Amino acid sequence: MINIQRRSANDSELSQLPEGTNPFRYITHEIGSNFFPEFSRFTTALLIIFFIFHLLIAIFCLAILILPYFRRTKRSRWFYRKLHFRDQSGNNVYRAPLFWVNAGLLMTISQLVVSVASQSFIVINLRWKMSVDYAIHNPMVPSLGLMIVGEMFTYWALMHCFVVAIYYDQRPHENASNGVARWTVSPTLINLIFVAFPLGVVVTIVLICAFLTLDDHKFDLEVIKGLTILGNGASTWDKLSVSTTTADEKTQLMLLLLEVVSEAKVINQNGNIRLDIFIKLFHIVFCVVLALHCITFLVFLGVFGMVVRKFHQKRSHSTLAMSNFNIFRRWFKSKDSQTTSKNQLLSKNEKMISASNRQFLHLLVRTLCIISAMITSTIVFSIGVIKTDDILRTPKWRGIMVWLVTVAGSWSSIPIAWQCWRIYQDESSGSSTASENSKGSSSEDKSDAPHKPWQSDSDVQEIEIRLDSTTQIQQIPCAEP
């Protein structure tokens, strides 16, 4: 029996097993501990905490999606709108409109998908250690792919909202030669970048994850065959250990063991080939995801830099306008009505500046959290590129990667959920304001109130571009505090 044991193992470690040890059960145990390892208490506790965290985030996002249907309003949820830019004469500044997607709706749905996928990812990894059969039939690649897709799509939806807010609040300078407004970037290019590229990212990640899942399924089939053969070998080995087994039966059982060993060698070779292919595909997936994530990260930094620049421009112009008003204010002291009106205007501007500063501070906090999440994801994907082989072969690195992926996907959940809630509140307040105005506000009050494009039910919005230097502080649609 020792000879058969050593022939079946062909491994120095197995050859040192004490006599009477079932080598087939030992190999089965090693396969389970290497490919489906048990996590440490720290990793398990961390995964449970993040499962509860994502459960709360998912409930919160679901509530945001459901609440509008319980409000007494005739306004419907819109998916996208067209923003047409026209000059004072009514001519189109650009041929193509700027497509404006409902970032609040898309971000809420994306975050809901990320949270549900994260819960699925955590449950699958926690149950892997309980049952090898469960681990084989429940791969984690689809959940991981949904987490990555949802997170990136959320970032692009937020960036698109920033860009549309900048364009909607833009007031281009007059061209002295022909009086035509000039923009730095055309709406067509914005549509191409912020609509086509995110869809391309989603399609790319879905396809590579689908190919990876198919190859993982092929590897799992080899593992199932190997475990079945090892199970037959283990039962045959146990029969050999029974004292009542006759010599003829032992001879037949030993022949069966030789067949099991031969089949196990073939399965082992095929399994190693499939594993090598799977590792290469996983490495490619990490490389592609890392490249797409770095592009997203750089674009996000650039877009947020534009938001910061726009905020400082509006703030400096508003401060200058208030200073000019204070200088000439004494000229109108004899006119009580005008003085009262200007005092009210000054107070209104001060309140708007204060609200804008508070709004920008909250936006900055949320953005810093999102940037931290993107940096963490970059580190995780970089580790995946460098340590792909260790992650798939070593239990220690697999456990580290599991909780790192979970942490990276959780960093941005709170600021994104906060952002979705602020957008929902702004849309709700816009709906209430529009309802109050329709019930009986004066025409003067209506003209003074800043118009927000999401307060209209029309799918087409027209924006008039004034070729002057007038500036006005407006709230950014997706940057509410």
Question: Where does the pLDDT of residue 344 fall: very low under 50, low under 70, confident under 90, or very high at 90 and above?
Answer: low
Question: 266 with 204: CB under 8 angstroms?
Answer: no
User: What pLDDT was estimated at residue 184?
Assistant: 54
The helices-and-strands tally (H runs, E runs) of the chain is: 15, 3
User: What pLDDT was estimated at residue 349?
Assistant: 53
Task: Reply yes or no on whether the pLDDT at 383 is more than 90.
Answer: yes
460-464 sheet: strands from edge to edge: 98-101, 80-86, 460-464
Locate the DSSP E strands across 13-138: 80-86, 98-101
Q: Among 14-28, 138-152, 439-453, name the most confident range.
A: 138-152
Question: Where does the pLDDT of residue 37 fall: very low under 50, low under 70, confident under 90, or very high at 90 and above?
Answer: low
User: What pLDDT was estimated at residue 467?
Assistant: 38
Task: Reply yes or no on whether the pLDDT at 215 is more than 70.
Answer: yes
Question: Where does the pLDDT of residue 300 fall: very low under 50, low under 70, confident under 90, or very high at 90 and above?
Answer: very high
Read off the pLDDT of residues 346-371 as tens digits, 9 standing for 90 and up: 555 555 555 566 777 777 888 888 89
User: What pLDDT was estimated at residue 431?
Assistant: 52
User: What pLDDT was estimated at residue 17?
Assistant: 63
Task: Reply yes or no on whether the pLDDT at 407 is more than 90.
Answer: no
What is the residue-averaged pLDDT of the chain? 73
Alpha-carbon distances, residue 368 vs 158, 335, 362, 371, 373 (angstroms): 14, 49, 10, 5, 9
Pairing of strands 460-464, 80-86: parallel
> Looking at residues 417-423, what average pLDDT do you find?
83
How many angstroms separate the CA atoms of 427 and 421, rounded?
A: 10
Supply the pTM of this predicted model.
Answer: 0.75
User: What pLDDT was estimated at residue 325?
Assistant: 42
Domain chopping of the chain, boundaries? 2-10+22-71+82-172+181-432+448-464
Task: Reply yes or no on whether the pLDDT at 255 is more than 70.
Answer: yes
Task: Reply yes or no on whether the pLDDT at 454 is more than 70.
Answer: no
| Phi (first) and psi of residue 456, to 5 degrees | -105, 150
Which one has a higher pLDDT value, 2 or 399? Answer: 399
Task: Reply yes or no on whether the pLDDT at 34 is more than 90.
Answer: no
> Looking at residues 177-205, what average pLDDT do you find?
73
